[in-house]
Structure 1
Amino acid sequence: MIHFHIPTHAQIRDNDKALLGVAAPSRVRPYLTLWKDERSTPLLPLPEIAIDTQVASIVIKDEGQRLGLGSFKALGGAYAVMTLFKGLLETHLGDEVSPAQLLSPTARDFAAGMTFCCATDGNHGKSVAAGARILGCRSVIFVHEGVTEARSDTIGADEVIRVKGNYDVSVDEAERVSKERGWLLVSDTSWEGYEEIPSLVAQGYTILAQEALEQISKLKIDPPTHVFLQAGVGGFASSISLHLSETLGHENIRTIIVEPDRAACLFASAQAGTLTSFKPTEPTIMAMLECYTPSLVAWRILNASASAFVTVTEDQAKDAMRMLAFRDQPVVSGESGAAGLAGYLAVARDPDARQKLGLDRNSRILVINTEGATDPATYEAIVGLAPTAVVQQAAIN
């Protein structure tokens, strides 16, 4: 399904622009030094898909290789943890500290008594746990009953607490327990009275948008005219949408939001014209997007910046995964990772949608593989090859 939307860029708040606009990546980048890995993730042209769908170009940013954690989320939660820790340490010391000083013996002593927590479908929790681990803090991650053991086992937290119910229930439980025990909650979704920390998480994601534009320029391709962004609560999508709009000019790029049809809370909100929860029916394989209530900040931004909201089926996501796996330069893309491409293909094959979104032979498309094979067994069942076998194909080619 497609809901066409009229963006109202003038309604985007100045503080949202300041957090996610042109200068945002420069605020994030110093913290990447704490990872000891500042490499950009690959950006690959998809010429065969561009020809088939009759556009000038389509490129995919492969976040499955980000910081060894397998998804773009590595940039957000860890950055928020580091930023929050820096502020608390400065208050404790009564003096400013640099990102590099967050690894000093003094900082380590301070970190020993601190616990960070969050709820997650998998990837955000990995990032929060990694950020805490780098600093020497403790981490506790809440997962709902739909998170597979394979995903929860790779989170890397000091403690993982499984909650009965869906993602929204785990968010509520993480908030409740964090208040009760004095833990620092680093959620990637926002609600009334809780906006600052999710906005920091979203700020971390702007790094990948900046990288993508730099890599596109190096390929001698003009900037994208359309970007297809998968969404759960919407933090990632709102970050990339606003950053690209501020950098390229909102009149030069259209944002299309893609969600599973079984968890389309932003689609429902766009249809209703106000933030709306989605009533779940059955789980989706796009587990990292299985969210039923939008982030308050994300909805505010996407309501003002998105040109359309699209839903995709389970089969469409699977087809996009296979399409990326079986090509000359294979991309290992998990179920949620391939959703953006699935959304693009759905729109590209719809003549009415093409016309309304200005999709033609001059269009330049950006999609993002937001995750690799976060559950290798599920990936193999869908694609027919293990992730390692797909990577070996790339080496042979």
Structure 2
Amino acid sequence: MNQVAWLKSTLKRQQGTDVAFLGPAALAEVAQFHSSFSQYQVTPLRSLQGLADKLGVGGIYVKDESYRFGLNAFKVMGASYAIGKYLAGRLGKDLGALPFAVLSSAAVRETLGEITFVTATDGNHGRGVAWTARVLGQKAVVYMPKGSSLTRLQHIQSEGAEASITELNYDEAVDMAAEQAGHNGWVVVQDTAWEGYETIPVWIMQGYAHIAAEIIDQFRQMGPERPTHVFLQAGVGSFAAAIAGHFIAAFGTERPVMVLVEPNQADCFYRSVLAADGRERSVSGDMATIMAGLACGKPNPLSWSIIRDYGDMFFSCPDWVTAKGMRVLGNSVGQDERVIAGESGAVGAGLLAALLERKELWEARMALGLDQHSRVLLISTEGDTDPASYRKIVWDGAYPSWQEGENPC
């Protein structure tokens, strides 16, 4: 349970699921809408050359989503676009004609009346939904799975949402949100799909894909056209598929190597690829991992088809991997800038460090082709969204990686 498990996909297809809906042409409206918010800024892409030199690769780049809309996480990119699209549809207008200043106006609220958006979340997505509903003059109801952080609950409530921690796991909380929406006439805003519920998840994925578009522009400004490897966290997979899909649409056969990373307590994509029959698998139970944002047991079927067809390597990681990543990013090397990454944001960094330092992962490193020429992209999807937990790990050394084989001296 404490070792990193990995496998190279046997399901990958060079001509697979169509990702045009995540490509550059499809994202013009997304970028226009996000840019209409006064809070919108392109988040930093940090070049950690000191860390790259220490670990023996050509470059390490970290997209720091802790700066996103002042909410300390990336999720608002999907929630805001999806809610905007939904409201535009209710108004019978194109979203391009409804920037934030118009969509948040008293006239629009008077026309639409009060709409309640409901979701299930460990914290970051719910905060994004709650924030968007508030600034657009609407309501939000948020259900959180058992064990969720009280701090994250309070952040959601501070945005004016009706929020509570349930006795359910994440997937059960999603079912509850859908049931309550049906009973009360609410609108579900969830980044996973099921039969009859696909449109909003597609919009959320397109919102996430805007992050990849920013990254490509930033790489071009910095020098290298693109990374050679992209490490992507997978919960339900919507974020990973959206980022991968945009890179695939933008670069085609010249795309980077796509690496999917999951907690070993909620590794539904790893298990799906391991099954090797092309069908997704689920994980049940409590899914007890500190990577709360990735503790999802069922793949989003929309994201599964993309990840199945284009994912190159899959890793199932114990909690010490992301704890190591938090410490690596939070204690910079040389002139590198410090990155404050939360439990769900740092697992890619922890895995990269483990791949390049540990003898038992040598075969995986070789299979990925990681060497002195590699340019590796990591995305820190959240900052210290639970500050007490962050300090417990980074200050006090919770989940120490040295117990798994490193020399602590």
Query: Is TM > 0.5 for Structure 1 vs Structure 2?
Result: yes
Structure 1 residue 104 displacement after superposition? 3.0
2:347 to 329, 339, 344: 339
Whether 2:150 is the aligned partner of 1:123: answer no
Q: State the partner residue of 2:265.
A: 262
The secondary structure found in structure 1 opposite 2:364 is helix
Q: State the partner residue of 2:194.
A: 191
Whether 2:29 is the aligned partner of 1:27: answer yes
Post-superposition Cα deviations, 1:55-98, rounded to whole Å, max 9, x if no partner, equal 2111000001100111111101121011111111127xx99943
| 1:82 partner letter | G
| 1:236 partner letter | F
* Whole-angstrom CA distance in 1 between matches of 2:372 and 2:103: 50
Structure 1 residue 35 displacement after superposition? 2.4
Q: State the partner residue of 1:181.
A: 184
Structure 1 residue 111 displacement after superposition? 4.1
Residues 1-397 of structure 1 aligned to structure 2 (within 5 Å): 1-6=5-10, 7-13=12-18, 17-90=19-92, 97-99=97-99, 100-155=101-156, 156-273=159-276, 274-280=279-285, 283-327=288-332, 328-349=336-357, 350-384=361-395
* Whole-angstrom CA distance in 2 between matches of 1:284 and 1:95: 38
| 1:98 partner letter | L
* Whole-angstrom CA distance in 1 between matches of 2:239 and 2:106: 34
The secondary structure found in structure 2 opposite 1:190 is coil
* Whole-angstrom CA distance in 1 between matches of 2:223 and 2:389: 37
* Whole-angstrom CA distance in 2 between matches of 1:10 and 1:108: 45
* Whole-angstrom CA distance in 2 between matches of 1:215 and 1:339: 22
The secondary structure found in structure 1 opposite 2:316 is strand
Structure 1 residue 166 displacement after superposition? 0.7
Q: Contact 1:111–1:135 at 8 Å: present in 2 too?
A: no
| 1:147 partner letter | S
Q: Contact 2:29–2:96 at 8 Å: present in 1 too?
A: no
Q: Contact 1:3–1:309 at 8 Å: present in 2 too?
A: yes
Of stretches 104-113 and 359-368 in structure 1, the one that deviates more from structure 2 is 104-113
Q: Contact 1:275–1:299 at 8 Å: present in 2 too?
A: yes
The secondary structure found in structure 2 opposite 1:70 is coil
Given the superposition, is the C-alpha separation of residues 33 and 245 from structure 1 closer, same or farther in structure 2, using an over 3 Å criterion? closer
| 2:341 partner letter | S
Of stretches 139-148 and 249-258 in structure 1, the one that deviates more from structure 2 is 249-258
**TM-score relative to the length of structure 2:** 0.89
| 1:164 partner letter | E
Q: Contact 2:119–2:174 at 8 Å: present in 1 too?
A: yes
Structure 1 residue 336 displacement after superposition? 0.6
* Whole-angstrom CA distance in 1 between matches of 2:274 and 2:22: 26
* Whole-angstrom CA distance in 2 between matches of 1:364 and 1:40: 21
**Deviation >6 Å, runs of 4+:** none
Of stretches 133-142 and 226-235 in structure 1, the one that deviates more from structure 2 is 133-142
* Whole-angstrom CA distance in 2 between matches of 1:202 and 1:250: 22
Structure 1 residue 24 displacement after superposition? 3.2
* Whole-angstrom CA distance in 2 between matches of 1:139 and 1:198: 17
Post-superposition Cα deviations, 1:168-216, rounded to whole Å, max 9, x if no partner, equal 1100000000011110101111122222111110100112111111112
| 1:48 partner letter | G
The percent of aligned pairs where both chains have the same amino acid is 37
Gaps of 5+ in 2: 397-409
Post-superposition Cα deviations, 1:101-151, rounded to whole Å, max 9, x if no partner, equal 312332121343211111111111111111111211111111111211111
* Whole-angstrom CA distance in 2 between matches of 1:301 and 1:96: 28
The secondary structure found in structure 2 opposite 1:367 is strand
Structure 1 residue 281 displacement after superposition? 5.8
